[in-house]
A and B are shown apart, each in its own frame.
Chain A
Amino acid sequence: MSEEVLRIRTPIGIHYQYSAGPHTSSHLLGLMDGKFIGRRCPSCHLVYMPPRNGTCAKCGVLLAEDVEVGPKGTITTFCIVNVPFLGQTIKIPYVAATILLDGADLGMQHLIQEVEAADVRMGMRVEPVWKPRDEWEPSLANVIYFRPTGEPDADFESFGGHL
């Protein structure tokens, strides 16, 4: 061998044992049952979805009560993905959106399909499309994507405080 060494492989990996904790656990249990479970702050009444572990970011008090939210929601903000990247499985252009589920005060990210990217807008009403039930896991990946419900758009006032 006479060729010079120009590069090296330095793979690095970490094996975690991830414990979800009580708040995220009830959320994950809900997903196994086709439900979105958030948690309410007993002080300011904000509903975290997905629920944070521990405390309300505003009040610092322990989140207490499980609350079922959704399944329908409203697109608050969105992004049209036009750039191909390694590992991409969805045909571009597609839309990644922040969705405020009905009854929740924290938006969550998900994919929007069954609509042209150019037709997606703030305030659009959407609903989840679930995987076949026998494929459900304790994961938000149980929802393949969200699609428009066809309902009239939500008023900006109804979600403007959650951007």
Chain B
Amino acid sequence: MSGGTSEYTIAPDGSFTAPLELFYPYKRTVGPTLSRFLTGLRDQRIEGTRGSDGRVHVPPAEFDPVTGDALTEWAPVRPVGTVLSWSWQPTPVDGNTLQHPFAWALITLDGADTAILHAVDSGSADAMSTGMRVAVRWADEPSGSITDIACFEPATDPEDAR
């Protein structure tokens, strides 16, 4: 689906320029594993799947990375974790849940062995560091999607900050 051509401009050399909006309103089913994960997020609960080697995957892996078997054992993790790596986003783009500068980070939640990619609202890049402790900020209006975690923020509770 795309937009019209009504907002075109013609340069002095006669060449045309026009905005072109390409937009797909996709909707998809999530399957049993992500269904349980997203239903949990909606209820402010984070769970991962446990692999055959005992590792807990968050976000949940549908199949064991080692054996390929379907994973069905679940393990709860805490809404607090450690930044494994990060990258600063100085200019948010459409669709970002935060509309001011923020960090993208890989976060290993307490109780998990793999990292989840999400936004960290730290205020500035100077406040970001590998190994920093972050906590979930839940969305005001849950919708059953990854954005039910509005973002992470630097952990303030002394216990969470470790």
Contact = CB atoms under 8 A, between A and B. Distances in A.
Interface residues of A, number: 29
A12 B25 CA distance: 7
Interface stretch (A19-27, A110-118, A155-163): A19-27
B29 A13 contact: no
A29 interface: yes
B26 A12 contact: yes
Contact of B15 (A16, A21, A137, A139): A21
Interface of A: 1, 4-22, 24-26, 28-29, 137-139, 141
Contacts of A28: 16
B110 interface: no
Nearest to A8: B145
A13 B21 contact: yes
Contacts of A21: 15
B57 interface: no
A19 B10 CA distance: 10
A107 B144 CA distance: 49
Contacts of B8: 137-138
B67 interface: no
A11 B1 CA distance: 12
A18 B17 contact: yes
Interface of B: 4-6, 8, 10, 13-30, 35-36, 38-39, 42-43, 94-95, 142, 144-145
Contacts of A29: 10, 14, 16
A8 B16 contact: no
A8 B27 contact: yes
A6 B29 contact: yes
A8 B15 contact: no
Contacts of B14: 22, 25-26, 29
A82 B27 CA distance: 27
14 contacts: A5-B145, A11-B25, A11-B26, A12-B24, A12-B26, A13-B23, A15-B19, A15-B20, A16-B20, A17-B18, A22-B15, A138-B5, A138-B8, A139-B4
Contact of B17 (A7, A15, A20): A20
From B4, B15, B16, B42, residue with most partner A Cβ within 10 Å:
B16
A19 B27 contact: no
A1 B23 contact: no
Contacts of A6: 29-30, 35
Nearest to A24: B16
Contacts of A22: 13-15
A21 B17 CA distance: 8
A5 B4 CA distance: 36
B22 A7 contact: no
Contacts of A139: 4-5
Contact of A13 (B24, B30, B42): B24
Given A8-B28, A9-B27, A10-B26, 7 more contacts: A5-B145, A7-B27, A7-B28, A17-B20, A18-B18, A25-B16, A139-B4
